[in-house]
Amino acid sequence: MLKITDPQELLKLALSNHQDSECATCNILMHPGWESVPGSFDLTTLKLIGTLKTEDHSEVWDEYHPNGTHSWSADAPIAIGFHPYNRCDIYQCIHCARKYLRYGEYGGYYVDERIRPLNGKLIAIP
Protein backbone atom coordinates (compact mmCIF):
# COMPACT_ATOMS: atom_id res chain seq x y z
CA MET A 1 0.00 0.00 0.00
CA LEU A 2 1.23 3.46 -0.85
CA LYS A 3 2.03 5.75 2.06
CA ILE A 4 1.84 9.27 0.72
CA THR A 5 3.25 12.17 2.71
CA ASP A 6 4.35 14.40 -0.15
CA PRO A 7 1.78 16.51 -2.04
CA GLN A 8 3.76 16.07 -5.26
CA GLU A 9 3.38 12.32 -4.97
CA LEU A 10 -0.34 12.71 -4.37
CA LEU A 11 -0.54 15.00 -7.38
CA LYS A 12 1.15 12.38 -9.54
CA LEU A 13 -1.42 9.86 -8.39
CA ALA A 14 -4.25 12.33 -8.99
CA LEU A 15 -3.09 12.98 -12.53
CA SER A 16 -3.45 9.28 -13.30
CA ASN A 17 -7.09 9.72 -12.36
CA HIS A 18 -9.81 9.56 -15.01
CA GLN A 19 -11.63 12.52 -13.63
CA ASP A 20 -14.17 12.72 -16.45
CA SER A 21 -14.86 9.09 -17.17
CA GLU A 22 -18.43 7.89 -17.11
CA CYS A 23 -18.64 5.02 -14.70
CA ALA A 24 -21.88 3.36 -13.70
CA THR A 25 -20.27 2.22 -10.47
CA CYS A 26 -18.83 5.40 -9.05
CA ASN A 27 -20.41 8.38 -10.84
CA ILE A 28 -22.70 8.67 -7.84
CA LEU A 29 -19.60 9.62 -5.79
CA MET A 30 -18.47 12.42 -8.08
CA HIS A 31 -19.35 15.37 -5.87
CA PRO A 32 -16.42 17.76 -5.61
CA GLY A 33 -16.61 18.21 -1.82
CA TRP A 34 -16.93 15.76 1.05
CA GLU A 35 -20.11 13.73 1.12
CA SER A 36 -21.34 10.79 3.15
CA VAL A 37 -21.16 7.60 1.14
CA PRO A 38 -24.76 6.86 0.05
CA GLY A 39 -26.23 3.93 1.96
CA SER A 40 -26.99 2.15 -1.31
CA PHE A 41 -23.38 2.30 -2.49
CA ASP A 42 -21.43 -0.97 -2.48
CA LEU A 43 -18.13 -0.16 -0.76
CA THR A 44 -16.56 -3.38 -2.03
CA THR A 45 -16.29 -1.71 -5.45
CA LEU A 46 -13.59 0.54 -3.99
CA LYS A 47 -10.13 -0.91 -3.57
CA LEU A 48 -7.74 0.42 -0.94
CA ILE A 49 -4.54 1.56 -2.67
CA GLY A 50 -2.87 3.92 -0.24
CA THR A 51 -3.08 6.20 2.75
CA LEU A 52 -2.37 9.76 3.80
CA LYS A 53 -2.27 8.81 7.49
CA THR A 54 0.91 9.43 9.40
CA GLU A 55 1.59 8.77 13.03
CA ASP A 56 2.72 12.33 13.75
CA HIS A 57 -0.43 13.86 12.31
CA SER A 58 -3.12 11.57 13.66
CA GLU A 59 -4.08 13.99 16.43
CA VAL A 60 -4.11 17.12 14.30
CA TRP A 61 -7.57 18.71 14.09
CA ASP A 62 -6.50 21.89 12.32
CA GLU A 63 -7.90 22.42 8.88
CA TYR A 64 -6.28 24.27 6.03
CA HIS A 65 -8.42 26.94 4.38
CA PRO A 66 -6.25 29.86 3.23
CA ASN A 67 -8.92 31.07 0.80
CA GLY A 68 -11.91 31.16 3.10
CA THR A 69 -13.27 27.72 2.28
CA HIS A 70 -14.64 25.38 4.93
CA SER A 71 -14.42 21.62 5.26
CA TRP A 72 -17.52 20.98 3.11
CA SER A 73 -16.58 23.42 0.33
CA ALA A 74 -16.44 22.03 -3.17
CA ASP A 75 -13.11 23.80 -3.66
CA ALA A 76 -11.60 23.16 -0.21
CA PRO A 77 -7.90 22.36 -0.61
CA ILE A 78 -6.70 18.78 -0.22
CA ALA A 79 -4.01 19.43 2.37
CA ILE A 80 -1.81 16.58 3.54
CA GLY A 81 -1.19 16.66 7.27
CA PHE A 82 -4.37 18.62 8.06
CA HIS A 83 -7.75 17.37 9.19
CA PRO A 84 -9.47 15.39 7.75
CA TYR A 85 -6.81 14.40 5.23
CA ASN A 86 -4.60 13.08 8.04
CA ARG A 87 -7.18 10.32 8.55
CA CYS A 88 -7.80 9.50 4.91
CA ASP A 89 -7.12 6.40 2.94
CA ILE A 90 -6.95 6.41 -0.85
CA TYR A 91 -9.30 4.15 -2.76
CA GLN A 92 -9.82 3.45 -6.40
CA CYS A 93 -12.89 2.28 -8.25
CA ILE A 94 -12.34 -1.28 -9.40
CA HIS A 95 -14.09 -0.51 -12.69
CA CYS A 96 -12.71 2.84 -13.86
CA ALA A 97 -9.68 3.29 -11.55
CA ARG A 98 -10.86 6.73 -10.49
CA LYS A 99 -9.38 7.64 -7.12
CA TYR A 100 -11.10 8.81 -3.98
CA LEU A 101 -10.18 9.91 -0.49
CA ARG A 102 -12.18 8.37 2.30
CA TYR A 103 -12.30 8.49 6.09
CA GLY A 104 -14.66 7.46 8.84
CA GLU A 105 -16.20 10.16 11.00
CA TYR A 106 -17.00 8.57 14.33
CA GLY A 107 -20.43 9.56 15.58
CA GLY A 108 -22.20 8.29 18.68
CA TYR A 109 -23.22 4.85 17.47
CA TYR A 110 -21.99 4.49 13.95
CA VAL A 111 -19.25 5.54 11.57
CA ASP A 112 -20.16 7.98 8.84
CA GLU A 113 -18.04 7.07 5.83
CA ARG A 114 -17.09 10.25 4.01
CA ILE A 115 -15.71 10.34 0.52
CA ARG A 116 -14.31 12.88 -1.89
CA PRO A 117 -12.84 12.47 -5.38
CA LEU A 118 -9.09 12.98 -5.57
CA ASN A 119 -8.89 16.10 -7.71
CA GLY A 120 -5.33 17.14 -8.54
CA LYS A 121 -6.37 20.77 -9.02
CA LEU A 122 -7.23 21.04 -5.33
CA ILE A 123 -4.08 19.55 -3.82
CA ALA A 124 -2.32 22.12 -1.65
CA ILE A 125 1.37 22.35 -2.52
CA PRO A 126 3.20 24.25 0.21
77 preceded by cis ω (within 30°)? no
Provide the mask over 78-107, with x wherever binding to Zn ion is found by CB under 5 A and - wherever it is not.
---------------x-xx-x---------
Tell me: does residue 29 bind Zn ion (CB under 5 A).
no
Report the alpha-carbon distance of residue 107 to residue 52 in Å, rounded: 22
Using CB atoms within 10 A of its CB, is residue 38 exposed (0-12), middle (13-18) or buried (19+)? exposed
Least distance to Zn ion, CB of residue 32, Å:
16
Of 10, 13, 14, 26, the one binding Zn ion by CB under 5 A: 26
CB closer to Zn ion out of 5 and 45:
45
How many chain residues interact with Zn ion (CB under 5 A)?
Answer: 7
Tell me: does residue 23 bind Zn ion (CB under 5 A).
yes
